[in-house]
Amino acid sequence: MLQVSASTERAARAAMLTSRFSDIICKAGKLLDHDIKKPRPKQATARMLFQREEQLRRRREDSRRKLERMKPTATFDNSEILKEFSALCGCPSQSLPYRFEGSSSLEKFGLRLRTFTYDDIEEAVRLDDAERDIEEGEIV
C-alpha cells in the first residue's frame, strides 16, 4: 500500500510541475528546434575541420609507424648485379662505391632512361632506328 501511494504522489507532483512550467518547457523546446535548424557558426565548422585533419594526421602517423615496424619478407641485393655491370662496362672497381639507390645507380654509370610519348602505337611501330635520335649513354 505504501508503494502505490508513493507512486501516485510522484505522478501527481510530476503532473503539477509539468502544468506549472509548461510554458517554459514549450519555449525551451522551440529554442532547441530553432537551434538545430540554425546553420553552424564558422568557429564550429573550423573546429570540425581541424578535428578531421588531426584525425587524418594521426591515422597517417599510425600507418607510418606500422610500416616502420614491419620486417621485410624478402630482400633484394642489387650490389652483385651492379658489380657485374660495372665489370662489363669496363669501369674500375675501386672508383665505384657500391651503395646504389634507385635509378641514380644508372646515372652513376652515365646512363639514363628515355621516355617516349607517342600518340598511338602505330606511330611507334613505324619509326625505325634510323629516324630515332638516340643520345650517347641513353637506354632505349
pLDDT at residue 101, rounded to an integer: 47
Residue boundaries of the structural domains of the chain: 1-38, 41-71, 101-140
**Helices marked H in 21-120:** 22-37, 42-69, 79-89, 104-108
Dump the DSSP string for 49-72: HHHHHHHHHHHHHHHHHHHHHPPP
H or E element: which one contains 124? Answer: helix 121-126
Q: What's the pTM?
A: 0.28
Q: Which amino acid is at 74?
A: A
pLDDT at residue 133, rounded to an integer: 59
118: left (phi over 0), alpha (psi -120 to 50) or beta: beta
Per-residue pLDDT tens over the stretch 29-74 = 777 766 555 666 777 788 889 999 999 999 999 998 988 888 777 6
Least Cα distance to 113 among 86, 81, 139 occurs for: 139
Per-residue pLDDT tens over the stretch 95-120 = 555 444 455 666 666 666 666 665 55
